[in-house]
Structure 1
C-alpha cells in the first residue's frame, strides 16, 4: 500500500509540474501579446496625433480659402457695379 501511495504522489507531482509549466507558458504568451498590444497602442496614438494635426491644418486651410473666396466675391461685385455704371454712362 505504501508503494502505491508513493506512486500516486509521484503522478500527482508530475501532473502539477505539467500544469505549472503549461500555466507559465500561457503567462509568457500573454505577456508577449500584451507587449505587442502596447506597441500597437502607442503606434495608433501617434497616428491619431498626426491625423489630428492634419485635420486642424485642413480646417485652417478651409477657413483661409473661404475668406479668399469671400474677398474675390466682393471684388467681383465691385467690378460688376463699376462695369454696370460704365455701361449706363455710354
Structure 2
C-alpha cells in the first residue's frame, strides 16, 4: 500500500485497523487518507465497519472539511471523479 498522509496524532495501531477495515469494504485510498485526518473519526469508522453500518457512517462524513485539513497540511485534493462528494450525497 502506498504511504498515506495521516494526522500526526493517529496511533500506529489505529492506522493498521483503519486500513484493514477500509480495505475490507473497498474504500478508495484517498478516502482512507481523509478518514485518517482525525483519530476519533478513524476509530468511529472502524467501529462502524465492525457493526456493519459503514455505509450509513460514510454518508454522514463531511468530506469537504477533511479535504480542507489535507490542504492545510500542504497536500492537494484529488482531481477527477473522486474529487469530492457527489451532488446527490451532498443533498442527502
TM class, shorter-chain normalised?
under 0.3
Higher helix share: 1
- Report 1 or 2 for greater relative contact order, CA contacts < 8 Å, sequence distance ≥ 6: 2
* TM-score normalised over the length of structure 2: 0.18
Which has more radius of gyration? 1
